[in-house]
Structure 1
Amino acid sequence: MRLSCIHQGYELYGSDRSFIESVRAIRAAFPEAEIEIVIPREGPLAEALRADGLPPTIEPLWVLRRHSLARLVVTAAIDLPLALWRAVRRMRRADLVYVNTAVVFDHTLVARLFRAKTIIHVHEIPEGGALRVLRALLRWTRAEIVFNSQATKRTYPGLAGQRSHVIYNGVALEAEPQPVKAVAGGPLHILMLGRINRIKGQEVLLDALALLPPASRERLSVRIVGSAFETREPEIELERRIAAAGLGPVVRLLPFQPDPAEHFRWADIVVVPSRLPESLGRVAIEAQAYGRPPIVSDIGGLGEVVEDGRTGWLVPPGNAAALAARIEAILADPAPLAGFAEAGRARFERLFSQSTAADALTGVLRANLARSNRPAPRTGRERSAS
């Protein structure tokens, strides 16, 4: 039995960590299978996979990224045929192909030829031309699809006749929820964690902080943790905005790090002020797991993660005034945070635990194998029984 798992990233941001957790689930479910993992570059993801005993194949992939579309068009005549040939060769010899994210254009395009044994896991809510391309591409494949939220599924209508499922990303997290530290009249620690780009809304948080009265800002300590993708320009612009707004004493801009546990332990609340739709929102899930109530934009899948007024709060996207008002309310009365933290941890365990997601995903894979009479490898429990 040969399973191929394809992923577009090489860092250790949320989508990359979700991929690792999916591969771990696949390995646990199918311990006798040969599992091939393909990623486009060396980096933190490759190191993490090797540490898990899952050495990846490093191979050029034709990945649709907004910032690199012009380069892809220029090199398409040479690079794309080679990429498609590699995808055909791999998918022909595999018993099951798991393509993690639809932006892996070469394997997604070729999936039409191997649709009975291909599962595409969609994590993207793009916009404009990219959305039109991905909608058409998914319809073309006729493959089985897993969406990571109801919001993501609604983004891709017109897939009649294709099997599809909604499975929330599971988060492998063994840490116990942390005690709430904020007290009336004391400091408030605010964490924002994620890639620095136009989607995540770092500037919305800065605008909200600037709207607060000076006395309120003096009680805040804010960490914005993350890095831009393959360029420092967005980071430099963010540093400039912090200085121009006079927020230097309040805000620390820190680089991305693969394990954010220390930041969650430091925080009192977590802010996810996304300007454009998040397909789900891993940071908000992790915040609830750590007992750190999140304030999130009411957009995309974030509303499926946070129960407004119980495990966190929803605010209109791009609305700095609404975000400022929520922070001010928490400063005035942090006592409810403990109840929010307890409810958030319970929601995490019920909906977003790694075991819940693993059972659902591997169930889809087993059913796919069974439909085409390709027997799934036995689990360790089944081998012991025999």
Structure 2
Amino acid sequence: MQVIPELETGGAEQSTIDVAQAVVRAGGTALVATRGGRMVARLEADGGRLAQMPVQTKNPLVMLGNAARLVALIRQEKVSIVHARSRAPAFSALWAAHATGTPFVATYHGVYKAQSRLKRWYNAVMTRGDLVIANSDYTRDHVLAEHHIDPAKLVTIPRGVDFERFDPAFVTQDRVETLRTAWGIAPDDPRTRILLAGRLTRIKGHLTIVDAARRMAAEGRRDFLILFAGDDQGRTGYAAEVQSAIDEAGLSDAVRIVGHCDDMPAAYLLADVAILPTTVPESFGRAAVEPQAMGRPVIASNHGGVTETVVEGQTGWLTSVEDPEAWAKAMARAIDLGAGKRREMGEMGRRRVRQLYSSDAMCAQTLAAYERVLEARR
């Protein structure tokens, strides 16, 4: 049983879906305890089962109620292992696991900062089980430095990409054209398309890119179209702030918020370059790996897990964090490189991620981690 706040969108959520499918394929029962979300349909289509409950809450009384619900579910379904993927639900999941004597695993999906002892204690719930999974070496180093746990209790399993989904050969031109029409891009638009895929939240760096685009336009450049594809998840204030910055810079035709996208493989094929201008380090950065799987070079902020997945000058570029001038230069460089050279970089990135970041490999390593924990308990 995996426990995650919700199944809306994101890397942790996608990993949950992938592992659930792998459990089903291996002949097991895959339960996911979650509030719900748009990815539930895919979970159930893959053979997984939804256990809907308000595990996203941080209310202590509701968390206790969740623990009781999970205890009942563990006993009813004879759950053999509990896997938490976020801190708040990890408390309920850990209590339930202890109450039933069930092995507990947690994946450290993010680099959680702690400015106080209380926050460090809160974060450490992810390390109190049988095994901790880090989604990159960057995350692993952080966990060791922050929590001082036994390194033998920690394993690195990078997130994986579903190459049955993210493969240029499997995306029809009709899908790309449907997206082009939906986003209002003319078939004969010659501009280089630059895609930022991610939630509309401040840490994703949209405002840095708007400022960078303003600088490019001030230099007389009109050869780019920047697309922000992502859900605001209720952050309407930030979405309005980004749109206001676009309008004030006179960039309404050059920078567009296109909203949530259900067909990211087609989105990456529609784009020429993908960008990941995060203001805080990504622990892994799936949005830097998936476009490479689709043969697209990536420009990313030079910190966090993306320094492991983007090879400077070969599969993309690493750029200064929150530095609009540096980002303007990086995007201009990618545009000026030309379509042919970008294709060469994209092909190099595609080969590399297929070798290193397979979803099948991630799932196999996760199931092996489960077996390791179960064997140690036996």
TM-score when scaled to structure 2? 0.85
| Partner residue, 2:368 | 363
| Partner residue, 2:111 | 125
List aligned pairs for 1:208-247, cutoff 5 A.
208-214=212-218, 217-247=221-251
Q: Distance in 1 between matches of 2:124 and 2:47?
A: 37
Query: Would the alpha carbon gap of residues 131 and 169 (structure 1) be closer, same or farther in structure 2, given more than 3 Å must change?
Result: farther
Amino acid paired to 1:38: A
State yes or no: 1:40 paired with 2:31: no
Aligned residue among 46, 55, 60 for 2:54: 60
Amino acid paired to 1:159: I
Amino acid paired to 1:144: L
Query: Would the alpha carbon gap of residues 208 and 112 (structure 1) be closer, same or farther in structure 2, given more than 3 Å must change?
Result: farther
* Residue aligned with 1:120, SS: strand
Q: Distance in 2 between matches of 1:277 and 1:131?
A: 19
Aligned residue among 112, 117, 124 for 1:136: 124
| Partner residue, 1:147 | 134
Query: Would the alpha carbon gap of residues 275 and 89 (structure 1) be closer, same or farther in structure 2, given more than 3 Å must change?
Result: same
| Partner residue, 1:28 | 25
Q: Distance in 2 between matches of 1:332 and 1:161?
A: 46
* 8 Å CA contact retained: 1:13, 1:258: no
List aligned pairs for 1:159-178, cutoff 5 A.
159-160=149-150, 163-174=153-164, 175-177=166-168
* 8 Å CA contact retained: 1:115, 1:142: no
Q: Distance in 2 between matches of 1:22 and 1:200?
A: 26
| Partner residue, 2:178 | none
Q: Distance in 1 between matches of 2:288 and 2:44?
A: 28
* 8 Å CA contact retained: 1:102, 1:124: no
| Partner residue, 2:275 | 271
Q: Distance in 2 between matches of 1:164 and 1:190?
A: 37
Aligned Cα root-mean-square deviation (Å): 2.3
State yes or no: 1:156 paired with 2:143: yes
* 8 Å CA contact retained: 1:285, 1:348: yes
Aligned residue among 3, 7, 23 for 1:6: 3
Q: Distance in 1 between matches of 2:329 and 2:287?
A: 22
**Superimposed CA distance per residue, residues 54-89 of structure 1 (whole angstroms, 9 cap, x where no aligned partner):** 2311112154xxxxxxxx4xx43x323212322344
Structure 2 unmatched runs, 5+: 172-189
**Superimposed CA distance per residue, residues 19-39 of structure 1 (whole angstroms, 9 cap, x where no aligned partner):** 11111122222x0x3332211
Q: Distance in 1 between matches of 2:235 and 2:368?
A: 40
* 8 Å CA contact retained: 1:177, 1:345: no
Q: Once structures 1 and 2 are overlaid, which stretch shifts more, 100-109 or 266-275?
A: 100-109
Q: Distance in 2 between matches of 1:133 and 1:327?
A: 41
How far 1:131 moved relative to its partner? Answer: 5.7
| Partner residue, 2:63 | 80
How far 1:227 moved relative to its partner? Answer: 1.8
| Partner residue, 1:337 | 342
Q: Once structures 1 and 2 are overlaid, which stretch shifts more, 277-286 or 101-110?
A: 101-110
TM-score when scaled to structure 1? 0.83
Query: Would the alpha carbon gap of residues 362 and 311 (structure 1) be closer, same or farther in structure 2, given more than 3 Å must change?
Result: same
Aligned residue among 15, 18, 21 for 2:15: 18
Q: Distance in 2 between matches of 1:149 and 1:103?
A: 22
**Superimposed CA distance per residue, residues 197-246 of structure 1 (whole angstroms, 9 cap, x where no aligned partner):** 12111111111111114465311111111122233221111111110111
* 8 Å CA contact retained: 2:105, 2:129: no
Amino acid paired to 1:220: F
Q: Distance in 1 between matches of 2:136 and 2:119?
A: 16
| Partner residue, 2:82 | 97
* Residue aligned with 1:169, SS: coil
Between 1 and 2, higher relative CO (CA 8 Å, sep ≥ 6) is seen in: 1
| Identical-pair percentage | 24
* 8 Å CA contact retained: 1:119, 1:145: yes
How far 1:272 moved relative to its partner? Answer: 0.3
Query: Would the alpha carbon gap of residues 108 and 278 (structure 1) be closer, same or farther in structure 2, given more than 3 Å must change?
Result: farther
Q: Once structures 1 and 2 are overlaid, which stretch shifts more, 272-281 or 88-97?
A: 88-97
Q: Distance in 1 between matches of 2:151 and 2:10?
A: 33
**Superimposed CA distance per residue, residues 160-205 of structure 1 (whole angstroms, 9 cap, x where no aligned partner):** 26611101111113243479xxxxxx52110001001121111111
**Superimposed CA distance per residue, residues 343-372 of structure 1 (whole angstroms, 9 cap, x where no aligned partner):** 100111111111221221111112222223
* Residue aligned with 1:337, SS: helix
Q: Distance in 2 between matches of 1:131 and 1:279?
A: 19
